[in-house]
Amino acid sequence: MTPFEENSTDIDARDVAELLDKSRLNENMALYCRGMDRKDLHSMQSTFWPEATDDHGAYVGSAHEFCRWACENQKNGGHRSHHYITNVLIDLNGDTARRESAVLYLMVLPDDDRIDLMGGRYRDFCEKREGVWKVLRRTVIFDYAHQMTPIADFVDVFGGIPSTAHFGALYPADAIYEADW
Give the pLDDT of residue 138.
98
Instruction: Give the largest Cα separation in the chain, rounded.
Output: 58
**Please, are residues 18 and 92 in contact by the beta-carbon 8 Å criterion?**
yes
> In terms of Cα–Cα distance, which of 109, 112, 116 is closest to 145?
116
Higher pLDDT, 181 or 65: 65
Write out pLDDT tens, residues 127-154: 999 999 999 999 999 999 999 999 988 8
Residue 8 pLDDT grade (very low, low, confident, very high; cuts 50, 70, 90) = low
> Is 96 a residue whose pLDDT tops 70?
yes
Cα-based distances in Å from 52 to 10, 24, 57, 58, 171: 38, 18, 16, 17, 24
Residue type, 5: E
**Please, are residues 138 and 53 in contact by the beta-carbon 8 Å criterion?**
yes
> Is 3 a residue whose pLDDT tops 60?
no
Give the pLDDT of residue 126.
98
